[in-house]
Structure 1
Amino acid sequence: MKRLPTKAQIRTEIEDQVEEFLKQGGEVLEVKTGSTGLVNGELNTNNLGFGQPRQQRTPVQEAIIAIEKKRQSKLATNKPKKPKPAKPQKRVIYDDFGEPVRVVWE
């Protein structure tokens, strides 16, 4: 079975690739924080959900009532189960010093 690389191995591999890229003459451009989310220097208002009016919700009361009625009918038909008889449990009796003396089944 082939082992997956660890995070440390992946990290060193990426760092090696970046170093190789820089040695071959590539360069990394610095970008101001937050500027990648801007469109022409402004926030993209198409992605914001607050600019539009609130949409009406679809009423589902009938579906909820039908589900509850079905659930209640299932509960009414099921008989309550009899409780199982208690199984005997092992209990250890200790002396005054905390040493086990005997085992009793209750």
Structure 2
Amino acid sequence: MIKPKTTKKDTRKELESQVDQFIKANGTIQQVNMGESGLVDGKYNTSHIGFNEPKQERTPLNHVVAAIQQKKSSKPFAPTQAKKKPKKTIIYDDFGEPLRWVWEE
């Protein structure tokens, strides 16, 4: 059985009901200024940015790339021909009236 996709309307209703349940259970909603929740001590949290570690040396793989290029160049290139699609044409009788459709290749 396939589950029906939840629509935005359903999601909104579910969120509204969860908020109503929270408020009925004596929960309080604290208002915060826009962007304030992403700040730590009034500043952006820079601990996750990733510039704290020293630059790592990369492993050279030039010989691997050269081997791959050599394999590619040694194979003969055989272009595949595109198959012609059948064409639908109409057949007329002696008086110019259409009789039937025929597929021609």
For residue 25 of structure 1, give the secondary structure of its aligned residue in structure 2: coil
- TM-superposed CA distance for 1:50, in Å, is 5.7
Using the aligned pairs only, state the percent identity.
36
Change in CA separation of 1:90 and 1:42 when aligned onto 2, cut-off 3 Å: closer
Q: Larger relative contact order (C-alpha < 8 A, sep ≥ 6)?
A: 2
Offset from partner CA, 1:8-65 (integer Å, 9 cap, x none): 2232122112112212221111122212222222122222356777655443322211
| Mapping 1:16-95, distance limit 5 Å | 16-49=17-50, 56-73=57-74, 75-76=75-76, 80=78, 89-92=87-90
For residue 20 of structure 2, give the secondary structure of its aligned residue in structure 1: helix
Offset from partner CA, 1:72-103 (integer Å, 9 cap, x none): 22x23x7x478699686443378xxxx87466
- TM-superposed CA distance for 1:71, in Å, is 1.5
- Aligned pairs, number: 99
Kept in 2, the 8 Å contact 1:45–1:51? The answer is no
So what's the TM-score if we normalise by structure 2? 0.61
CA distance in 2: counterparts of 1:100 and 1:62, whole angstroms: 71
In structure 1, what is the equivalent of residue 3 of structure 2? 3
CA distance in 2: counterparts of 1:30 and 1:85, whole angstroms: 66
Which 5+ residue runs of structure 1 have no aligned equivalent? none
So what's the TM-score if we normalise by structure 1? 0.60
